[in-house]
């Protein structure tokens, strides 16, 4: 069996669906705003540009996305957007915040098996209240020794979490769907990382290169994790 | 000198001004919406009611406040509110998020003296990105051994933080302006608490009773803290 003191998981798009919900919300936004957009304006691109511009002020998560939708509607619609459209944008935002957690396939069984052998930690970014709600209502909470909701998943954050939990980097494994947030900074800090891609990746998480090296692996699905770790079947 | 292993501080309205900024924002909102409010509607009360109704979904902080202002504007204005008013609400929200930190009197000197004798921790609730920005730009960051940004300041949260930092409750002192968030749950967990009131208190933080007992004290200002702790002048 591979030796780690802690196996850490990303949450959104690693344990449960998230990005598909944002895509559906974005499509609702495009349908709502298209009647008000001047010719030649790509509504979806304008929204992504607004999210990118707002990231440093609003951070990650659904409330940030909601405010960016409001601002994009104002910018795109130029005074023509009525109050009822803003009301629908609020509904889109609330629907995302209150949507039930939809677990990815095999997640519960995988965590059950892996938590029998390793100490598990959850590391996620986004809204404090939304991420907490999802963790608590996922039914997976009890598998995790520690849950960390962070502002940004960069080298500094991983260093702080490893220090705080007193984990040596080479005894730490992170599993997630984003090379930018879950994989590269962990490898850069001397940790191990397993990439499990999700069908959709948010524009602002995209990177050009895939890491290579002995401390990195890519799996097709989370179902392959127990075997990769060397946990034998019951 | 009084014996504590950790002295913890609340941030908003304990180290720096916050609620006065929300009050000014609320006044801007009232001026913006009053022309659209039907007779007999109290705009400020409607906004507070919306914040209260949204607390469980949006949580604390400026982004939650911004979304509540948008929703209150929709509810109050009933289709009459133009896009330009929503644009101004977004400006109010951004101004709050980007406002420079304004320290309360004597805070820097008090932290300098107290941090020479005790390990200091900061415990605050609100937006991850906004609270992090304020801590980093306050110039006070270096005084704190640990910064904890939490969803809710209740008994469960304090128990988790004390466990995580391995502090015995009776060796823990919390200092803050809110009886509901900084004082009562800490006393209930067996800790010590010092209340330093701020001129304004958010409606949703108000409680009816003031705690009494040997582990509670109230000071007129943070300036009195070093003497209360028994730190003698240099």
* Strand residues in chain B grouped as ranges (E): 6-9, 119-125, 144-150, 172-176, 192-195, 216-218
Average pLDDT, 10 consecutive residues per value, chain A (234 residues):
94 97 97 95 97 96 97 94 97 97 96 96 95 96 96 96 94 97 97 94 84 92 96 75
| Encoded tokens for B223 | 């300036």
Neighboring chain B residues of A80 at a CB cutoff of 8 Å: 83
Distance CA A53, CA A76 (A): 15
The pLDDT, as a whole number, for residue A234 is 59
Angle at CA of residue B200, ends B198 and B205, nearest 5°: 95
ipTM tops 0.90:
yes
Tens of pLDDT, residues B205-227:
888 788 888 999 999 999 999 99
Per-residue pLDDT for B232 more than 90? no
The pLDDT, as a whole number, for residue B234 is 59
> Cβ of B57 and A81 within 8 Å?
no
Neighboring chain B residues of A74 at a CB cutoff of 8 Å: 83, 86-87, 90
Does domain B19-98 sit in CATH 1.10.150.240?
yes
Neighboring chain B residues of A150 at a CB cutoff of 8 Å: 128
> Cβ of B70 and A90 within 8 Å?
yes
Neighboring chain B residues of A32 at a CB cutoff of 8 Å: none
For chain A, give the number of residues.
234
Domain boundaries of chain A, sorted by first residue: 6-16+101-229, 19-98
The pLDDT, as a whole number, for residue A78 is 85
The pLDDT, as a whole number, for residue A202 is 87
Helix, strand or coil for residue B130? helix
Helix, strand or coil for residue B192? strand
Query: Nearest Cβ partner of A128 from B80, B90, B151?
Result: B151
Which residue is closest to A65 within chain B, CA to CA?
A: B63
Tens of pLDDT, residues B106-141:
999 999 999 999 999 999 999 999 999 999 999 999
Helix, strand or coil for residue A149? strand
Mean pLDDT for the stretch of residues B1-16: 95
Tens of pLDDT, residues B62-109:
999 999 999 999 999 988 999 999 999 999 999 999 999 999 999 999
State pTM to two decimals.
0.94
Place of tokens 């010719």: A39
Contact B206, B89 (CB under 8 A): no
Interface probe, candidates B35, B36, B55, B57, chain A, greatest A C-beta count within 10 A: B57
Q: What are the CA-CA distances from residue B112 to residues A85, B17, B29, B149 (Å)?
A: 51, 19, 38, 22
> Cβ of A82 and B86 within 8 Å?
no
Tens of pLDDT, residues B31-64:
999 999 999 999 999 999 999 999 999 999 999 9
Assigned superfamily of B6-16+102-229: HAD superfamily/HAD-like (3.40.50.1000)
Interface A-B, measured as beta-carbon pairs within 8 A, has a size of 84
Contact A148, A135 (CB under 8 A): no
Tens of pLDDT, residues B149-206:
999 999 999 999 999 999 999 999 999 999 999 999 999 999 999 999 998 888 888 8
Would you tell me which CATH number, out of the four given (3.40.50.720, 3.30.365.10, 3.40.50.300, 3.40.50.1000), belongs to the domain A6-16+101-229?
3.40.50.1000
- Nearest-CA distance A200 → chain B (Å): 25
Distance CA A187, CA A10 (A): 15
Residue A57 dihedral angles phi and psi, to the nearest 5°: -100, -45
Neighboring chain B residues of A93 at a CB cutoff of 8 Å: 67
Q: Is A131 exposed, middle or buried (0-12, 13-18, 19+ CB in 10 A)?
A: buried
Query: Nearest Cβ partner of B86 from A59, A86, A128?
Result: A86
């Amino acid at each position: 069996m591979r030796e780690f003191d802690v196996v850490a998981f990303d949450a959104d798009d690693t344990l449960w669906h998230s990005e598909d919900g944002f895509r559906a919300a974005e499509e609702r936004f495009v349908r709502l705003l298209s009647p008000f957009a001047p010719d030649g304006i790509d509504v979806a691109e304008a929204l992504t540009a607004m999210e990118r511009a707002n990231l440093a002020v609003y951070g990650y998560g659904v409330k940030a996305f909601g405010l960016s939708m409001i601002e994009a509607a104002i910018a795109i619609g130029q005074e023509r957007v009525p109050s009822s459209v803003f009301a629908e944008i609020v509904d889109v935002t609330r629907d995302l915040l209150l949507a039930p957690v939809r677990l990815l396939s095999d997640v519960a069984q995988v965590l059950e098996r892996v938590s029998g052998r390793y100490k598990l930690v959850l590391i996620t970014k986004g809204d404090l209240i939304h991420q907490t709600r999802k963790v608590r209502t996922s039914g997976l909470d009890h598998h995790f020794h520690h849950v960390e909701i962070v502002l940004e998943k960069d080298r500094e954050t991983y260093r702080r979490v490893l220090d705080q939990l007193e984990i040596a980097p080479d005894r730490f494994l992170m599993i997630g769907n984003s090379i930018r947030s879950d994989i590269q900074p962990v490898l850069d800090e001397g940790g191990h990382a397993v990439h499990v891609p999700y069908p959709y990746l948010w524009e602002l998480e995209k990177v050009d290169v895939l890491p290579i090296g002995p401390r990195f692996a890519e799996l097709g699905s989370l179902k392959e994790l127990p075997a990769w770790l060397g946990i034998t079947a019951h």
